[in-house]
Amino acid sequence: MADRVSTNLAQGKKLKDEGNAYFKAGNAKEALRKYHEATLYLNGLDNGGLASIVPSPELVDAVRKEIADTLKACHSNMAACYIKQSNWSKALATCDKVLKTDPNNAKAYFRKGQVYGNIPELDKAEAAYKKAAELDPKDPGIRTELAKIRQKQKDLEDKSRKELAGMFQKGLKSTSDAPAPSGTAQLAASGITEL
């Protein structure tokens, strides 16, 4: 039984590495397939049954951590593939899967920021990038993306302001172009029908 755990772990890691190679080569579809295969080998290996087949508690913890880390990397990389394919809902779901097991995963928050920035849900993107920056303050890529989102927000606010100002000016112009109502029409408009 211990052989099955070590064999499946080795196969899962091998498939993850193959997925990484495909991703680096620009083939997100094949990378995604490899990451998915890796998770099939790894799922279930980290459950309680591991203690009965691995002799020492320290080894159980080390193996469990290695399995969890490999699964987390696969899911995080799957999210990157989904982002490349513009499959926003699957990318978000996969990021959430990573965050469920590791709520302090800066990369998962970064990828959520990428998704929200493309949907676009800029406030959510900003929140995700802020959390990523809080967890990994030295990553310049996070700060760069956060600055881009803030610029997009500012540009949208400026555009909205200009559109509102234009509508307001257009409304003022159309009321100033209309002929002034006669005295009788003014009285009728105000509800007075007789003098």
**In this predicted structure, what is the pLDDT of residue 144?**
96
pTM of the predicted protein model: 0.74
Q: Which residues constitute the domain of residue 122?
A: 104-177
Q: What is the Cα–Cα distance from 106 to 128, expressed in whole angstroms?
A: 9
**Residue 10 and residue 74 in one domain:** yes
82 contacts 36 by C-beta, under 8 angstroms: no
**Residue 109 and residue 72 in one domain:** no
Sequence letter at residue 6: S
**Total count of domains within the chain:** 2
**Residue 80 and residue 149 in one domain:** no
**Residue 138 and residue 81 in one domain:** no
**Residue 9 and residue 68 in one domain:** yes
**In this predicted structure, what is the pLDDT of residue 175?**
57
User: Is residue 95, in this structure, part of any structural domain at all?
Assistant: no
Residues with pLDDT less than 70, the chain: 1-2, 46-59, 168, 171-195
CATH of residue 122's domain is: 1.25.40.10
**Residue 80 and residue 110 in one domain:** no
User: Is residue 15, in this structure, part of any structural domain at all?
Assistant: yes
- 155-164: long-range contacts at Cβ-Cβ below 8 A with a sequence spacing of 24 or more? 156/122
- Please give the DSSP secondary-structure letter assigned to residue 195: -
Q: What b/e readout covers 53-73, taking b as 16+ CB neighbours within 10 angstroms?
A: ebeeeeebeebbebbeebbbb
